[in-house]
Amino acid sequence: MIKISAVSYTNTLPFIYGLKHSDIKKEINLSLDVPAVCAQKLINNEVDLGLIPVAAIASLPQSFIVSNYCIGANGAVNSVFIFSNCPVGDIEFLQLDEQSKTSNQLALILLKNYWKINPKLILKAGDYGKSAQAKTAFVQIGDRTFGQQNHFAYSYDLAAEWKNFTGLPFVFAAWVSNKKLDASFIDKLDIAFKFGLQNRAEILKQIPTIFNFDIEDYLYHKIDYQLDDLKMEALHLFNKLIKSL
């Protein structure tokens, strides 16, 4: 059995659906986790394959990107933000999101190279996401952000800002193994993912309506699931910029 850890967010539901409704389900043991836990399980060799934040790939002794699919975006993604009490140029304190190293690193890259500011970073803030301090902002990702843009004075979609900065799409998470997997298994994996994406209409029937958020648009148009050459170029640039932080 191949042990797999996958992110438990709405944007991964097509992947989960495919894994659970394809023949490959007989060959896998699937667990659902937040991004940081997915990465740690793969690093600890508790699983063989994970949908992990791309910033965590460098922490693996050996790594293999094994699928033609990913969690990416080509422009606004609508679920990875800096929410702020002030314009981005005035931010003095940035609360980081414990759930994803990649989004935190992306925020830091944009702050340094695009917005040219250097706020104080706060991890495990006691008032995370609720600070009334005028010069405070915070990174937040995933389903917690759905419909929240209008609740804050300022919001910055990090995938859109990356596109403005680089002209490239972005890869938030990729399917990565910590060992070589059989080619026939990888083929079955991609078949399962394709099947899940083809059944997004069925998946949408099972998702409750969320006020002020278009789930259908999100799954069909905001999340870009294909890991193509431009996304690989973006991934290499992201890794290069991380090293310069």
Q: Which residues span the domain enclosing 99?
A: 80-166
Closest CA to 30 of 6, 63, 65, 66: 6
Residue 176 to residue 65: CA distance in whole angstroms: 4
Last residue of a domain, one of 151, 166, 181: 166
For the stretch 205-239, pLDDT in tens is: 999 998 899 999 999 999 999 999 999 999 999 99
Last residue of a domain, one of 131, 166, 201: 166
Asked whether residue 189 falls in the same domain as residue 120, the answer is: no
Residue 95 to residue 78: CA distance in whole angstroms: 19
Per-residue pLDDT for 190 more than 90?
yes
Asked whether residue 96 falls in the same domain as residue 110, the answer is: yes
Average pLDDT value for the chain: 95
pTM here is 0.94
For the stretch 134-171, pLDDT in tens is: 999 999 999 999 999 888 999 999 999 999 999 999 99
Residue 63 to residue 49: CA distance in whole angstroms: 10
In the chain, what is the straight-line distance between the N-terminal and C-terminal CA atoms, in Å? 39
**With bands split at pLDDT 50, 70 and 90, how would you rate the model's confidence at 101?**
confident
Cα-based angle 212, 216, 220 (whole degrees, multiple of 5)? 135
For the stretch 34-66, pLDDT in tens is: 888 999 999 999 999 999 999 999 999 999 999
Q: Within a domain: residue 242?
A: no
CB-facing half-sphere around the CA of 8: CA atoms within 13 A: 10
DSSP string, 13-59: HHHHHHHHSSGGGGGEEEEEE-HHHHHHHHHTTS-SEEEEEGGGGGG
Per-residue pLDDT for 82 more than 90?
yes
Q: Within a domain: residue 145?
A: yes
